[in-house]
Structure 1
Amino acid sequence: MSAGQNSVAVVTITYSPGDTLEEFIESLQTEPEARGRIIVVDNGSTDGAPERAAAEHDSVTLIRSPGNVGYGRAANIGERSLEADIEWVLIANPDTQVTPGAIATLLEAAASHPEAGVLGPKILEPDGSVYPSARSLPSMRTGIGHAVLSGIWPTNPWTRAYQQRDVSSSDEVTAVGWLSGAFLLARRSAFDQIGGFDERFFMYFEDVDLGRRMYLKGWRNIFVPQATVVHIGGASTEKVADVMVRAHHRSAYQYIAKTHPGLVWKPVLAVVRVGLAVRAAFLTRG
């Protein structure tokens, strides 16, 4: 193992997380590497869960962000609050639960892969099915094909190429384009080198963009399926599902625009923007 108990810290972002936060913290108690330093960055909860966690657990530090600043900015706030000797930052949703040994397994993989800037586990749904968390970076064509057809033709070739479900279901440690931001172990030196998450993404695609920028700086995003976590589901986002759909589509456009700069792409981006707006309106109708 390359990291001791004092060199790993956990950062989780909350927005009225309900009971999932306590369940997340309890699941970390099986992980000696990560249970001692837990930063909860709260984006404006009204359910009292972050305050209860801080009061009941000596390992939990509560930081209140200046309003609902989004996932990436809140994660950056948490990371920047950490002591200088923290080498690894586990950034996770509070609605995930760690299975025993997952953190140690990620750290062991990191020791074998010094090129790893970010490592991610296999993510399971509550029913045991595998969530496609290890994906390729989307091209313009793949992204459009996935956006247009995934809802009506889930097995279309663009969605298959983007989601790489065979990779997420495999048992091989693999370098991928990006890893789900629901649960990431980030090498702090790499995270700081690229400036953390791009805070212009309020929610969604900040993990895609992180993976892309890691790759551009020579780091790799390593999928470690021997480590597993369970993603219970969005206790916060399910209450504002329509808002999240619109945020997802805005971030999708933002990512495409960021990765396709220049005047030559302006007409294409205009069409993409309208198409994504129409799709968001269709999904949130009624």
Structure 2
Amino acid sequence: MTISAEAPLKVSVISHDQGAWLEGLVADLDALATPLALTITLNVPEALPGSIASRTDIRWRHNDRPQGFGANHNRAFEQGGGEWFAVLNPDLRLPSDPFPALQEAVDAAEVGVVAPRMLAPDGAFDDNARFFPSPMDLVRKAFGRHEGRVPISGDAPQAAGWLGGMFLFFPRAVFARLGGFDEGFHLYYEDVDLCARLWKRGYRVEVVPGATAVHHAQRASRRDLRYMGWHLRSIARYFYKHFGRLPEKPGSQAA
């Protein structure tokens, strides 16, 4: 068992009535060689599986009312400690330990955040490393004519515009210097905004193909009007903050 409050790696996970997924992720974290401290935020009341409900080596946070993605991870970060800070979705599985390769990559100069290469459950490559979007990109995507994903080859770290928030790995000092996630985004585009702010401050954003994780994507905004509304408001907020003010090279399709 590698979960310890004193570990230099602090991992934050949010569950929104996702206990079944959470059980599998915790089992995978238990099996890793990398020591880590784990904070799990229960965003809504839920009955947890017996295998994790009584765990005292996990730091539990219970919200009186649901909070957004960024707010929950920021509160977990504020509990302090450690050299690295990682944000993970509960619907991830870790068939191997991604953290040594991520630590090595993020310890390089001017690297602000890294992520493993994400796989779908069938083994296909997921799209967690992407170019920054433009309004026209979103129109083309709505009609199935724009991918936006960064082409990845080999195992060496490589630059991406932004990385999906299902798995992000930071040097703690960088996350603190950035002020964490912008809590004005409720659920979507916090990751895009954070990566844009990193690039603007001179940090690199990189995907590490030599590390992998499996993502059982939920895609809630495609079938729930409430989530779709949050998604659209977040897109509007992102473009209000950043449109026309992004770095010219990193993360652009011309890069």
TM-score class, shorter: 0.7 to 0.9
Aligned to 1:38: 38
Q: Which ranges of structure 1 fall in alignment gaps of 5 or more residues? A: 262-286
% identical aligned pairs = 29
| SS at structure 1 position matched to 2:122 | coil
- Figure out how many residues of one structure are paired with residues of the other and give that number: 240
User: Which residues in structure 2 correspond to 1:76-155 (within 5 Å)?
Assistant: 76-83=74-81, 86-111=82-107, 113-138=108-133, 143-152=134-143, 154=144
In 2, Cα distance between equivalents of 1:195 and 1:187: 13
Taking a change above 3 Å as real, the CA distance of residues 238 and 199 of structure 1, as seen in their structure-2 partners, is closer
Q: Does 1:182 align with 2:163?
A: no
Contact 1:39 1:62 in 2 (8 A): yes
Q: TM-score, normalised by structure 1?
A: 0.77
Alignment-mate amino acid for residue 241 of structure 1: D
Q: Structure 1 residue aligned with 2:149, among 163, 169, 172?
A: 163
| SS at structure 1 position matched to 2:102 | helix
Alignment-mate amino acid for residue 84 of structure 2: W
User: Which residues in structure 2 correspond to 1:1-286 (within 5 Å)?
Assistant: 6-34=7-35, 36-45=36-45, 47-49=46-48, 53-55=52-54, 57-83=55-81, 86-111=82-107, 113-138=108-133, 143-152=134-143, 154=144, 156=145, 159-160=146-147, 162-164=148-150, 166-167=151-152, 171-234=155-218, 237=220, 241-260=224-243
Contact 2:131 2:161 in 1 (8 A): yes
Taking a change above 3 Å as real, the CA distance of residues 116 and 30 of structure 1, as seen in their structure-2 partners, is farther
| SS at structure 2 position matched to 1:197 | coil
Taking a change above 3 Å as real, the CA distance of residues 226 and 203 of structure 1, as seen in their structure-2 partners, is same
| SS at structure 2 position matched to 1:150 | helix
Question: Deviation of residue 228 (structure 1)?
Answer: 0.4
In 2, Cα distance between equivalents of 1:258 and 1:44: 30
Taking a change above 3 Å as real, the CA distance of residues 44 and 51 of structure 1, as seen in their structure-2 partners, is farther
Contact 2:221 2:228 in 1 (8 A): no
Say what the alpha-carbon RMSD is for the aligned residues.
2.4
Question: Deviation of residue 180 (structure 1)?
Answer: 0.8
Alignment-mate amino acid for residue 19 of structure 1: A
| SS at structure 2 position matched to 1:201 | coil
| SS at structure 1 position matched to 2:32 | coil
Question: Deviation of residue 177 (structure 1)?
Answer: 1.4
In 2, Cα distance between equivalents of 1:65 and 1:76: 13
Taking a change above 3 Å as real, the CA distance of residues 109 and 23 of structure 1, as seen in their structure-2 partners, is same
Contact 2:119 2:213 in 1 (8 A): yes
Deviations 1:138-172 (A, max 9, x none): 2xxxx2223222232x2x3xx24x322x23x6544
Larger radius of gyration: 1
Q: Which ranges of structure 2 fall in alignment gaps of 5 or more residues? A: 1-5, 245-255
Taking a change above 3 Å as real, the CA distance of residues 260 and 151 of structure 1, as seen in their structure-2 partners, is closer
Question: Deviation of residue 54 (structure 1)?
Answer: 4.5
In 1, Cα distance between equivalents of 2:64 and 2:195: 26
Contact 2:158 2:208 in 1 (8 A): yes
Question: Deviation of residue 219 (structure 1)?
Answer: 1.4
Q: TM-score, normalised by structure 2?
A: 0.86
Question: Deviation of residue 52 (structure 1)?
Answer: 6.6
Deviations 1:37-70 (A, max 9, x none): 110112113x312897351x33211112341111
Aligned to 2:249: none
Contact 1:90 1:186 in 2 (8 A): yes
